[in-house]
């Protein structure tokens, strides 16, 4: 496991932009538009299965070792997902959102495919520095991918992409401080407008902006890029990862809300749906 938070996030980012080139372009665009040299990452999201060897706790261990603490619990009944989020005592470090698919709620066929995938992971790899951005540890056929896709978009995404950041998230709040007045962008709506003008496609499931001031968190995201996946029998271009944008609001106690909103996250998951 990494001993250095910055190295872990750098490894995750470098891997992520390889299959999500639009995130890199948007990062540069927002830096140029806002005059902010450093975009703050609100959170990253990771996906896994609830199987003993690779479950949410196994991924979380990499962050607990770096001083992260477990905070919120979430349930997504329709998508068959359980999730938790983690925060670091140093508020400048990104929050981490980890979900796991409840494999036991899928069909026997899907369970067989997933069990076979996970059984081919070297147990030692799960604890190594780079596991969280190590990609797939298996080769599946395109047919198996399609079988999973018919039941769970999340399972199919995991089969194709494996262990890596599903998204990074631009903190919109960061733009409200320190920018000169002409460049002031302090609202998620402004960020969305910049992205659309530049030709990026936003996820409109549940509306372009999910949540808002009433739930202390407003979120939007791009639709995932497409990238080539080498299956056992063919190479196919499929949705990879997306970029998210989050604006946080103060709670009644005057502190900025740090959690997540299940109803919004439920729609954000759909950013990797095939278009």
Tell which positions 189-228 bind Ni ion, by CB under 5 A.
none
Question: Total residues at the site for Ni ion (CB under 5 A)?
Answer: 2
Q: How far is the CB of 206 from Ni ion (least distance, A)?
A: 14
Q: Nearest to residue 238, comparing CAs of 272, 199, 200?
A: 272
CA dist., res. 16 & res. 242, Å (int) = 9
Q: Which is nearer to Ni ion, 39 or 45 (CB)?
A: 45
Q: Which is nearer to Ni ion, 45 or 132 (CB)?
A: 45
Q: How far is the CB of 108 from Ni ion (least distance, A)?
A: 32
Stretch that binds Ni ion, among 7-15, 21-29, 56-64, 236-244 (CB under 5 A): 236-244
Q: Which is nearer to Ni ion, 147 or 203 (CB)?
A: 203
Q: Helices 21-34 and 5-19: crossing angle, nearest 10°?
A: 110
Q: Which is nearer to Ni ion, 12 or 45 (CB)?
A: 45
Q: How far is CA 229 from CA 120, 157, 184, 257, in A?
A: 18, 11, 40, 38
Q: Which is nearer to Ni ion, 45 or 223 (CB)?
A: 45
Strands 41-49 and 226-230, how do they pair?
unpaired
Q: How far is the CB of 21 from Ni ion (least distance, A)?
A: 19
Q: Which of 244, 247, 248, 261 binds Ni ion (CB under 5 A)?
A: 244
Q: How far is the CB of 150 from Ni ion (least distance, A)?
A: 25
Tell which positions 43-62 bind Ni ion, by CB under 5 A.
45
Site membership for Ni ion, residue 87 (CB under 5 A) = no
Stretch that binds Ni ion, among 6-14, 104-112, 113-121, 241-249 (CB under 5 A): 241-249
CA dist., res. 33 & res. 23, Å (int) = 15
**Matching residue, tokens 């910049």:** 194
Categorise residue 162: left if φ over 0, alpha if ψ from -120 to 50, beta otherwise. left
Strands 242-248 and 167-171, how do they pair?
parallel
Stretch that binds Ni ion, among 38-46, 121-129, 197-205, 251-259 (CB under 5 A): 38-46
CA dist., res. 105 & res. 3, Å (int) = 36
Q: How far is the CB of 202 from Ni ion (least distance, A)?
A: 14
Q: How far is the CB of 221 from Ni ion (least distance, A)?
A: 7
Q: How far is CA 95 from CA 183, 186, 199, 211, 256, in A?
A: 27, 21, 29, 18, 13
Enclosing H/E stretch for 230? strand 226-230
Q: How far is the CB of 239 from Ni ion (least distance, A)?
A: 16
| Residue 170 and residue 243 in contact, taking contact as beta carbons nearer than 8 Å | yes
Q: Which is nearer to Ni ion, 1 or 262 (CB)?
A: 262
Query: Residues interacting with Ni ion, by CB under 5 A?
Result: 45, 244
């Amino acid at each position: 496991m990494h001993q250095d938070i910055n190295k872990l996030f750098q490894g995750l980012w470098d891997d992520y932009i390889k299959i999500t080139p639009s995130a890199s372009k948007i990062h540069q665009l927002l830096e140029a538009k806002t005059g902010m040299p450093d975009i703050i990452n609100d959170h990253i999201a990771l996906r896994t299965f609830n199987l003993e060897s690779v479950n949410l706790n196994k991924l979380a261990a990499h962050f607990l070792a770096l001083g992260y603490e477990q905070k919120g619990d979430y349930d997504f009944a329709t998508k068959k997902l359980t999730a938790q989020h983690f925060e670091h005592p140093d508020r400048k470090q990104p929050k981490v959102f980890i979900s796991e698919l409840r494999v036991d709620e899928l069909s026997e066929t899907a369970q067989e495919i997933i069990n076979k995938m996970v059984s081919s992971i070297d147990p030692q790899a799960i604890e190594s520095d780079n596991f969280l951005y190590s990609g797939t540890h298996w080769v599946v056929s395109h047919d198996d991918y399609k079988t999973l896709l018919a039941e769970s978009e999340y399972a199919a995404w995991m089969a194709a992409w494996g262990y890596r950041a599903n998204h990074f998230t631009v903190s919109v709040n960061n733009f409200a401080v320190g920018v000169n007045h002409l460049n002031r962008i302090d609202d998620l709506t402004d960020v969305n407008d910049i992205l659309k003008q530049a030709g990026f496609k936003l996820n409109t499931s549940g509306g372009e902006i999910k949540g808002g001031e009433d739930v202390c968190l407003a979120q939007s995201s791009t639709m995932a890029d497409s990238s080539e996946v080498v299956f056992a029998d063919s190479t196919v271009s499929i949705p990879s990862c997306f970029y998210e944008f989050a604006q946080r609001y103060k709670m009644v106690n005057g502190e900025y809300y740090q959690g997540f909103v299940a109803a919004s996250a439920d729609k954000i998951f759909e950013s990797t749906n095939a278009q």
